[in-house]
Chains A and B, each alone.
Chain A
Amino acid sequence: MRLVLSSLFTLTLIAGMATVAGPVAAQGNPIKIGAILPLTGSGASYGVWMKGGAEMAAEEINARGGIAGRKLEVIYEDHAADASKAVNAMQRLVEVEKVPFSMTSYSSPTLAIQPIAAQHKVVIMNGGGQSDSLAGKDYLYNNIPVVSNEVGVIAEWLAKDKKLVNAVMIVANDEAGRNSADTFREKFGAAGGKVLAEERVALDATDFRAQLAKLKARGGDLLYISSYGRNVAIIADQARELGITIPMAGTSWVLVPETFKSKGAEGMLVTKLPFDPNSSFAKKFKDKYKTNAGFFAVQYYSATMIFAKAAEEAMKKNGGVLTGEGVKNAIESIRSFDTLSGKLVFQPNHGAVMDIEAGTMKGGKVVVEKVIKAAP
């Protein structure tokens, strides 16, 4: 009984503190939002872009006076591609930092934190993960198209334009890798191609020779890489080292700095989402971070800007009070946002559509050969 009483007391105390903290936070304190990103591990290069993009956006927002006069502060958390780390980070953001909004990335980590977001009414915006299962989830918005769009485009381009119809696949054994591989198998089949064999590999592996040797022995005229991060460059290099001469292909996931530097990736057939490396954003990024910007830098710049606009609207409607629910309603009512990659319209399934470009990797650059316009 004593225990029950004392825990009741503690609860009341905590509740009391929370109500005290509420109004204080509304009076000109900084607005804190989260960003759960791959800052270490195989996807750390994405993390550099994502964090840089968000940082640049926050600096610009604060330079022009913040959001409704309040400073924006982004709290960065690392999920290292691990769903359980993402859950810990999300819980910290929700319970300790009390954020109304967080950026997120990668499919498995995002799926893992979505129930927490929905339960606590915190909006999460994913600008990186592309698994189909990310669509249509409460409180989760994706400012990136889900994978079936892009994989559909590359499957058709490879089979119909490039006349490559017998594929072998190397697949990262996680939600994103498997989902993308299944979609590729389906769309490639529909376009007249056939997947002869598939080998799954761990995302944190560094030696793919046994799997590649097996795929090589299977024949085929195309090696499709359904993986991402630094893996891709190692796979490409080891494939060439094993004497695999057939073309390799992958979606925008494969486009990380390691891949651009890899000798094995020369001639790789890729699709990418629109990003102009000569834009003023890219130049500013390069000056600030001493590394070339990529598509995902723009994505997280955009996500931060979308939040700023939605938050301003939400505070206007709710008498200066900022809640996750308010942000969600604002996103739903605004729907169409101007971003660096053009107009972004959130679809009813909380996803975005974009143009997709297809091309070949040459001398560390993608030479675009075809642009597939987004269906309106």
Chain B
Amino acid sequence: MDLFLQLAATGLVVGSLYVLCAIGWGLIYGTTLHFHVAHGAVFTLAAYYAYAAQKLLGLPLAIAVLVAICAAAISGMLIDLLIYQPLERRGAIRTTLFIASLGLLTLIENVLAIIFTPDPLRMDVGSLGDSVQLGPVFLTRLHLVSVATALLGLLALMAFLKYSRWGQAIRAVSSSPEMARTVGIDLRRVHLLTYAVGSAITAPAGILIAMDVGVEPYRGTTFVLLASVAVIMGGIGSIPGAALGALFLALLENLGVWKIPSEWQSTIAFGVFLIFIVVRPRGFFGRKIQSAEI
């Protein structure tokens, strides 16, 4: 039983990072319909920004994290402004956009690997790395911060979408771009805003995992893959759905180890995903995936 609790707690910690990545990606995908795999690069960039701000500029950790989140938001906006918007203006189809995004992901990862080497870089986390015991479960303070960040991030994003003017504009574009345009919403500006918010909400995930086990150039690919799976599982267009999908995947990966050898970790998660999506293609809460959306 202790093992079950420990694995569930570890799953929850990993899951909170998946949640942050998935709701950011899901927000962008649900609003713009861009299959933005370069989101993985933004996730990774956030970690390098935090590392650079702490180690190269010598900023205190909290400030470095804030700087990194802002820089990640700007990076997301720049990707939309400099890559996706010009492509869309020239009438590029979604597949072209996806391939451009994939190219950008590879490019950024490799450039980071050349500048910083592919080796993991350690950040100074001070007492955040200390162990905390909760009954039979052992975690670090950083893990508790991760769970709290995911919870706050999720609530803040939902409140933003529901109550703020800009959030309502995003929702309007997400549910019907044509209708939003006719009531005078500038789609391009809403897209830019979506990239800023979606990138900012994912940035802490990249930074937190970097603080835990080191900054690495190639981690974003796995995370964006998991995020897209979580979003499809949760239902496209649903933020709580994306969060639930992400948490489900993480718990599955970790609890699966309970009775099955651990090298099966990701095989289990993706196997269950395939079965799930065949049985219930609209996911937990979402609208049905239209062939035109992918």
Chain A contacts to B: CB under 8 angstroms: 40-42, 44, 80, 173, 199-202, 206-207, 209-211, 213-214, 216-217, 230, 234, 240-243
Contact = CB atoms under 8 A, between A and B. Distances in A.
Contact of B120 (A213, A230, A241): A230
A35 to B, nearest CB: 18
B156 interface: no
Given A210-B7, A214-B258, A217-B6, 6 more contacts: A40-B119, A41-B118, A44-B119, A230-B119, A234-B213, A242-B6
B22 to A, nearest CB: 18
B166 to A, nearest CB: 36
Contacts of B138: 241-243
Interface in B176-217: 212-214, 216
Contacts of A173: 263
Interface centre among B10, B139, B214 (most CB of A within 10 A): B10
B213 A214 contact: no
B236 interface: no
A17 B119 CA distance: 41
Given A44-B119, A206-B120, A213 B263 contact: no
A210 B131 contact: no
Contacts of A201: 262-263
Interface of B: 2-3, 6-7, 10, 14, 117-120, 131, 133, 138-140, 212-214, 216, 253-254, 257-258, 261-263, 265
Contact of A243 (B118, B119, B133, B261): B133
A200 B2 CA distance: 21
Contacts of B261: 199-200
A213 B139 CA distance: 11
Contacts of B254: 210
A243 B131 contact: yes
A41 B265 CA distance: 22
Given A200-B263, A213-B7, A213-B10, A40 B258 contact: no
B3 A241 contact: no
Which 3 pairs show the lowest CB-CB distances between chains A and B? Answer: A217-B3, A206-B213, A243-B138
B272 to A, nearest CB: 16
A210 B261 CA distance: 11
Given A216-B3, A242-B6, A243-B133, A207 B257 contact: no
Contacts of A243: 131, 133, 138
B117 A44 contact: yes
Given A214-B3, A234-B213, A40 B118 contact: yes
A124 B142 CA distance: 46
Given A200-B263, A240-B131, A242-B138, A210 B120 contact: no
A209 B254 CA distance: 9
Given A173-B263, A207-B213, A217 B2 contact: yes
Given A41-B119, A243-B138, A206 B216 contact: yes
Nearest to B213: A206
A211 B257 contact: yes
